[in-house]
Amino acid sequence: MSIPIKTPKQIDTMKAAGEVVYNVHQALKDLIVPGVTTYDLDQEARSLCVKYNAAPAFLNYPASDKNTKAFPAVICASPNEVIVHGIPNKTPLKNGDILSIDFGCCVSGYYGDSAWTYPVGEISEQAKKLLKVTENSLNAAIRACFPGNRIGGISQAVQDVVDAAGFGIVREFVGHGIGEKMHEPPAVPNYGVKTQGRVLKAGMVLAIEPMITLGSYKVKIMEDGWTASTLDDSLAAHFEHTVAVTNKGPVVLTNPNIS
């Protein structure tokens, strides 16, 4: 399957979606305190989509299983042992929780997508380490996004960081290409060998998203058909950026402060 190549102009257009994604994350970050609900956060994200004239990417996204309803929210809100695709609800967050927020949107026909895992109040040292290692693995993956490298180089960069910490790497879910569609080829696993996979070319845009656990990498899907949790109920973290591969190196489209 061919991988869409974006022109410099198209990548500039994608920056607009990326900036909205970044702004929404910054707004939600300030609201994540003990007592807030993920429903509250979703409502704020909905309002911000209207403010920025952005179409939410996840709302009504169809499930792969025909017996599962489309995703009902603007954000994926995944606390503690939930890895990805958590559905917002009215349960208050507690001090010591961690919460992954995944948000994507479409602006001017192009998508941006980013996830971040936030502390709720004061979290344990083990949880802090999980968040730091997962963020570090994402940064290592971004540094591998140069033309001539392979997808496997991104994958190995994540794995090297996580293996050194002794944490688990989720295998069931992977990163992906992104552009005029939310999900485009190629798949971007978070484990692998740098000599394998498709060759990176200038103009590729990838959503790179390590999903890391304190325990087993194995996953269970809850009854709603969306919520994916760790099989052993260990904590999980999820960090993601939309990254353009250019001849000058990687460009993070979902954080304007990263050059």
What's the average model confidence in pLDDT over 38-53?
98
**For 168-203, what is each residue's pLDDT tens digit?**
999 999 999 999 999 999 999 999 999 999 999 999
**For 128-173, what is each residue's pLDDT tens digit?**
999 999 999 999 999 999 999 999 999 999 999 999 999 999 999 9
Print the domain residue range for 198: 8-250
Average pLDDT, the chain: 97
How many structural domains does the chain have? 1
**For 96-123, what is each residue's pLDDT tens digit?**
999 999 999 999 999 999 999 999 999 9
Would the pLDDT of 1 be above 80? no
Task: Reduce the DSSP state of residue 221 to 3 states and report it.
Answer: strand
Q: Angle 246-113-79 (CA atoms, 0-180°, nearest 5)?
A: 135
Total number of residues shown for the chain: 259
Contacts of 30 (CB under 8 A, 6+ apart): none
| Domain-located, residue 118 | yes
| Domain-located, residue 1 | no
| 94 or 257: which leads in pLDDT | 94
Task: Reduce the DSSP state of residue 201 to 3 states and report it.
Answer: coil
| Domain-located, residue 218 | yes
**For 83-94, what is each residue's pLDDT tens digit?**
999 999 999 999
| Domain-located, residue 82 | yes
pTM of the predicted model as reported, rounded to 2 decimal places: 0.97
What's the CATH number where 131 sits?
Answer: 3.90.230.10
